[in-house]
Structure 1
Amino acid sequence: MKLIGKKIGILFEADYYENEIFYYQYRFPEEGAEIHFLTRLWGQPKITFAGHEHKVPMDCWESFENMSDEELRSYSAIIVPSGMVSDRLRYTEDVEKIPPATEFLKRVFAEPTILKGIICHGLWLTAPATELVKGRKLVCHNNLIGDAKAYGAIYVNEDVVVDGDLVTGRSGGHAHFFAAKIIEILSEKA
C-alpha cells in the first residue's frame, strides 16, 4: 500500500460522473489513502447528490468552506473531478465575488505541498481565477481546449500531464491513468 498516511480530498456536487468517482472511492483506499468528498453544504448536515449517467445517489457531509489552514495542509492532494461538478461548484450568490469553491481552490494552489489534480471539465473551476493555470502545462477535455488557451495555459495533447504540483487528465474516461499518476507522485513524497 503506497499511500498509507495520505489524505485526498475530492470536490463533489450533483451530476458527478459515477464511473470516475466510484473508481477513486475504491482505488485510493486500496493504496491506503484516506479520502474525503468535499462540497458546499449550504447549512445542511449532509447533501445527497445524484450522478450524471445513472442518477446514483451519494451522500456528502464534509465542506471545504471555512476549512482551517491547518486542516487544508493535512491533505496530500485535492482533486477537481470531471463532468458537471465544477460547473455546479462555480455558482456564487454574489456575482461580484469569486465562487467559494474557486476561493478554496486558490487556497489549495497557494500550498506547495498539496498535489493539485484537475481532470476533464474540472478546469472550469479555474475560470474565475485563471492565474492558477496561466503558463502551466495541462490537458483537459477536447471541448475545453479553447478555454485552457484563453486562460493562458499551455495545452499538451496527452492523456495525463504533470506540471510540478499540478496533475491534469483529459476526461473522466481517463480517471484510471489520472489516479495512477497521482498515486505514483504521492508515493514518492515522504
Structure 2
Amino acid sequence: MRIEGQKIAVLMESDFYEPEILYYQRRFAEEGGEVHFLTRLWGNDRIVFRGHEYRMPFEVDESFEDMGEYDLKEYGAVIVPSGIVADRLRYTDDVDKLPPAALFLRRAFADPAIIKGIICHGMWLAAPIPSVVRGRRAVVHNNLLGDLRNMGGVYIDEDVVVDDDLVTARTGNHCHLFARTIIDQLALRAPRNA
C-alpha cells in the first residue's frame, strides 16, 4: 500500500473512456489511495454520466466547484482523463470567463505539491490556461500535437512523460502506465516514517 490515505481527484463528465475510469477506480485503491470523482454538478446533488464506448452509467456526487484552498491541498493528485471529458468540462456560460474546470485545474497547477495528471485528450482542459504547460515537457494524443505546441508545450514522443509535478500520457490505452507513474510519484513524495 504505497499511497495509503492519499486522495486522488479524477475529473468526470460524459463520454469518458470506460476501461480507463474503471482501472483508476481499482488500481489507486489497490495501493491504498482514496479516489474521488469530481465534476461540475450544475446545482444537482448528483449526475449520472455515460461512457463513450459502451454508454456505461457512472454516478458522480462530488464537485470541484467551490472547493476551498485547504480542501484542494488534501489531494495528492488531480487527473484529467481521456475521452471527451475535458472538452465537455471546458464549457463556460460566460465566454469572457474561464470555464470552472479550467479555473480548478489552474489552482491545482499553482500548488507544486499536487501531481497533475493529464492523459490523451485531457490536454484540451489546459487550452484556456496555456501558461500551465508552456515550456513543459509533455505527450498528448497525436490529434492534439498542434494544440500542445500552440500552448507552448514541448512534445516528447514517449507513452508517459514526467515533468516535475506534471505527468502526461499518450492515450487512454496507456492508463495502466500512467496510473503506475502517478503512484510512483505519489510514493516518492509521501512523508517517510522515522
Q: CA deviation at 1:81?
A: 0.3
Question: Within the alignment, does 1:58 sit opposite 2:58 as a pair?
Answer: yes
* Counterpart residue type for residue 64 of structure 1: F
Query: Whole-Å Cα distance in 2 between the matches of residues 108 and 97 of structure 1?
Result: 18
Q: Which residue is 2:181 aligned to?
A: 181
* Pairing 1:78–2:98 present: no
Alignment correspondent of 1:99: 99
**Equivalent position amino acid for 1:153 in 2:** G
Residue matched to 2:45 = 45
Gap regions ≥5 residues in structure 2: none
Counting only pairs closer than 5 Å after superposition, residues 32-181 of structure 1 correspond to structure 2 as: 32-181=32-181
> For residues 55 and 180 of structure 2, what CA distance do their matches in structure 1 show?
26
What are the superposed Cα offsets for residues 70-113 of structure 1, whole Å, 9 maximum, x if unpaired? 00000000000001000000000001111000000000000111
Q: What residue is the counterpart of 2:14 in the other structure?
A: 14
Identity %: 57
SS of equivalent to 2:23:
helix
Q: 1:188 & 1:154 partners in 2: Cα distance?
A: 25
Cα distance in structure 2, aligned partners of 1:148 and 1:107: 20
**Quick one: distance in 2 between partners of 1:185 and 1:111?**
15
Superposition TM-score, scaled by structure 1 size: 0.99
SS of alignment partner, residue 75 of structure 2: coil
Give 1:118 deviation, angstroms.
0.2
How far did 1:5 drift?
Answer: 1.6
Structure 1: gaps of 5 or more residues: none
Cα deviation, residue 12, structure 1: 0.3
Q: Which stretches of structure 1, 4 residues or more, deviate above 6 A after TM superposition? A: none
Query: Is structure 2 residue 27 aligned with structure 1 residue 27?
Result: yes
The CA deviation at 1:68 is 0.4
Distance (whole Å) between structure 2 residues aligned to residue 56 and residue 3 of structure 1: 28
**Alpha-carbon distance, 1:183 to partner:** 0.6
